[in-house]
């Protein structure tokens, strides 16, 4: 069932906005897998006040979810009930606060953050260049790569809670663990402050180039993929467990375990989200049977089945 057609959330029940509010918005074009159903409502706020006012007036029973670049996400084929919030250009600014600190909008990409840091002579956030997502997602998931995580550089995060309340949260309040934070459901990260260290721009660029080359050599970057699929269990690499279980190249419909990096799932063309998620569950079963290790999803899976 299309959630836009079957829910009690009607246009008359939604608060007025200054940004864009779209009913039944297809999400497949907005996510890297290019699969899945529609958002009951897609809200692209004009600014922080627009978002805060909307959430404060929205029926508390209506679920709210943030959407960044859609890189680490499976949207189920029945779509996403409630409101999906997508932060656009007004939230994509990155500004230098001092010699080592940047304030970054929740909609800013990792590439924009790292390149702005380079131009400002700030090192330490180069790893964000390798994560295909936005600041809001990095902060929520404690995103990381190449030995660094958001918690290593975050000073504070500005969020709008589901209630519409605006809060500034420090590192301790975010309760970071591996690829997880204590941010409450429905909270939207609208900005974050990162602190690095003073560095020559050429040195920062060299590290960014090294990271880019390593990604190019090891990951299926030009495919329809959700990025890293499973978290690395303690003492293990997820891809090695997947490979050892004989899952490299495994398919279900048009979904495939990547031959190049088997902790990546691919949509070869017309895979449904059910195909992709089902393939991931089959991989988990095979790994459990082979090694006794239970893999945890790193990719978020949201929405409902048809």
CATH of the domain at 259: 3.90.78.10
Name the catalytic one among 179, 252, 284, 286. Answer: 179
Asked if residue 139 lies in contact with residue 160, where contact means CB atoms within 8 angstroms, the answer is no
Give domain status of residue 209, yes or no: no
**Is 148 one of the annotated active-site residues of the chain?**
no
Give domain status of residue 216, yes or no: no
Between 148 and 11, the more confident residue is 148
Per-residue confidence band for 13, with pLDDT thresholds at 50, 70 and 90: confident
β-strand partners of 95? 103
pLDDT average, residue stretch 33-55:
98
Report how far residue 71's alpha carbon sits from residue 32's, in angstroms, rounded to the nearest whole number: 5
Give domain status of residue 52, yes or no: yes
Of the three residues 89, 108, 131, the one that is the final residue of a domain is 89
- Average model confidence (pLDDT) for the chain? 93
What is the pLDDT at residue 3?
42
What is the pLDDT at residue 136?
96
Q: Does pLDDT of 12 surpass 70?
A: no
Q: Number of structural domains, the chain?
A: 3
What is the pLDDT at residue 4?
42
Give domain status of residue 8, yes or no: yes
- In this structure, are 199 and 113 located in the same domain? yes
pLDDT average, residue stretch 223-247:
94
Bridge-based pairing state of the strands 251-252 and 144-145: unpaired
What is the pLDDT at residue 219?
80
**Is 200 one of the annotated active-site residues of the chain?**
no
CATH code of 119's domain: 3.30.465.10
Report how far residue 45's alpha carbon sits from residue 58's, in angstroms, rounded to the nearest whole number: 14
Name the catalytic one among 40, 44, 149, 298. Answer: 298
Structure tokens at 265: 């799932």
What is the pLDDT at residue 283?
99
Short-list 185, 94, 75, 84, CA closest to 134: 94
Domain interval for residue 10 = 3-89
What is the pLDDT at residue 22?
97
Report how far residue 187's alpha carbon sits from residue 64's, in angstroms, rounded to the nearest whole number: 8
- In this structure, are 137 and 232 located in the same domain? no
Q: Find the length of the chain.
A: 306
What is the pLDDT at residue 5?
39
What is the pLDDT at residue 63?
96
What is the pLDDT at residue 9?
47
- In this structure, are 119 and 165 located in the same domain? yes
Give domain status of residue 212, yes or no: no
pLDDT digits (tens, 9 = 90+) for 190-233: 999 999 999 999 999 999 999 989 888 878 777 899 889 999 99
What is the pLDDT at residue 2?
45
Of the three residues 44, 69, 89, the one that is the final residue of a domain is 89
Q: Does pLDDT of 40 surpass 60?
A: yes
Type and span of the H or E element at 138: helix 135-141
Type and span of the H or E element at 302: strand 300-302
- In this structure, are 145 and 169 located in the same domain? yes
What is the pLDDT at residue 99?
97
Name the catalytic one among 52, 71, 114, 228. Answer: 228
What is the pLDDT at residue 223?
82
- In this structure, are 80 and 59 located in the same domain? yes
Percent of the chain residues past pLDDT 70, beyond the cut: 96
Per-residue confidence band for 10, with pLDDT thresholds at 50, 70 and 90: very low
Per-residue confidence band for 288, with pLDDT thresholds at 50, 70 and 90: very high
Give domain status of residue 49, yes or no: yes
Average the pLDDT over each of 135-144, 190-199, 217-226, 248-257 and give the range with the smallest value. 217-226
12-26, 131-145, 291-305 — which one is most confidently predicted on average? 291-305
Give domain status of residue 213, yes or no: no
- In this structure, are 76 and 100 located in the same domain? no
Give domain status of residue 274, yes or no: yes
Between 200 and 131, the more confident residue is 200
**Is 228 one of the annotated active-site residues of the chain?**
yes
Report how far residue 257's alpha carbon sits from residue 242's, in angstroms, rounded to the nearest whole number: 9
- In this structure, are 108 and 80 located in the same domain? no
pLDDT average, residue stretch 262-286:
97
Q: Which pTM does this prediction carry?
A: 0.91
Of the three residues 171, 204, 237, the one that is the final residue of a domain is 204
pLDDT average, residue stretch 34-59:
98
- In this structure, are 130 and 194 located in the same domain? yes
């Amino acid at each position: 069932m299309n959630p836009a057609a079957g829910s009690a959330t009607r246009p008359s029940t939604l608060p007025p906005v200054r940004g864009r509010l779209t009913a039944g918005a297809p999400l497949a074009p907005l996510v890297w897998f290019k699969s899945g159903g529609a958002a009951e409502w897609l809200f692209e706020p004009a600014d922080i006040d627009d978002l805060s006012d909307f959430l404060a007036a929205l029926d508390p029973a209506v679920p709210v979810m943030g959407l960044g670049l859609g890189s680490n996400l499976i949207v189920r084929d029945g779509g996403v009930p409630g409101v999906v919030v997508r932060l656009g250009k007004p939230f994509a600014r990155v500004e230098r606060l001092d010699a080592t600190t940047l304030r970054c909008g929740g909609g800013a990409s990792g590439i924009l953050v790292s390149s702005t840091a380079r131009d400002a002579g700030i090192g330490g956030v180069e790893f964000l260049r390798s994560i295909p997502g936005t600041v809001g997602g990095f902060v929520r998931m404690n995103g990381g790569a190449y030995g660094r995580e958001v918690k290593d550089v975050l000073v504070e995060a500005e969020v709008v809670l589901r209630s519409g309340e605006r809060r500034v949260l420090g590192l301790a309040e975010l309760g970071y663990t591996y690829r997880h934070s204590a941010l409450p459901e429905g909270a939207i990260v609208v900005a974050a402050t990162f602190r690095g260290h003073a560095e020559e721009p050429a040195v920062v660029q060299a590290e960014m180039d090294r990271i880019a080359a390593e990604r190019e050599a090891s990951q299926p970057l030009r495919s329809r993929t959700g990025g890293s699929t499973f978290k690395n269990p303690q003492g293990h690499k997820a891809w090695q467990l997947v490979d050892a279980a004989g899952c490299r190249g495994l398919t279900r419909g048009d979904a495939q375990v990547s031959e190049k990096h088997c902790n990546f799932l691919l949509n070869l063309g017309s895979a449904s989200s059910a195909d992709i998620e089902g393939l991931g569950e089959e991989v988990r079963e095979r790994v459990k049977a082979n090694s006794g290790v239970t893999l945890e999803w790193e990719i978020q899976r949201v929405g409902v089945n048809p």
